[in-house]
């Protein structure tokens, strides 16, 4: 069982930057890949970025998320989501997730069902 603890959300203004953290508090040895998703009110959960925990390989769906960057520090058991030039459209609950069974990999990394552990979510609100 992988346990995740997120932090770093808050209220910011348009154009600001924010860095979210996701600490793997239990099950670090089971962490194959970490991903960040977000969910805005009334919308489906949206994939942002994923990173292979061992190799550091990064997976993204398209270039629209060029303002976001994912990283991890294995020594600290922590993954990060750096978000720059935020706009009100980025307002959502942000979730980190972990795939502990290698379901995601380089082909299914954007699928919600590929990840079996989820953080509690952290609210990001961007004011205009």
Mind listing the pLDDT tens digit for each residue in 84-117?
999 999 999 999 999 999 888 888 899 999 999 9
pLDDT band at 77 (very low <50, low <70, confident <90, very high): very high
What proportion of the chain, given as a percentage, has pLDDT over 70?
Answer: 98
Strands 10-13 and 122-127: parallel
pLDDT (tens digit, 9 = 90+) per residue, 34-69? 999 999 999 999 999 999 999 999 999 875 558 999
């Amino acid at each position: 069982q992988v346990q995740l603890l997120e932090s770093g959300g808050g209220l910011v203004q348009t154009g600001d930057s924010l860095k979210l953290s996701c600490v793997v508090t239990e099950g670090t040895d089971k962490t194959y890949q970490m991903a960040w998703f977000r969910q805005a009110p009334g919308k489906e959960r949206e994939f942002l970025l994923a990173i292979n925990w061992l190799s550091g390989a990064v997976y993204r769906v398209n270039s629209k998320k060029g303002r976001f960057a994912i990283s991890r520090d294995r020594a600290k058991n922590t993954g990060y989501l750096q978000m720059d030039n935020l706009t009100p459209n980025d307002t959502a609950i942000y979730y980190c997730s972990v795939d502990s069974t290698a379901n995601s990999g380089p082909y299914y990394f954007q699928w919600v069902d590929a990840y079996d552990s989820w953080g509690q979510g952290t609210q990001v609100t961007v004011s205009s």
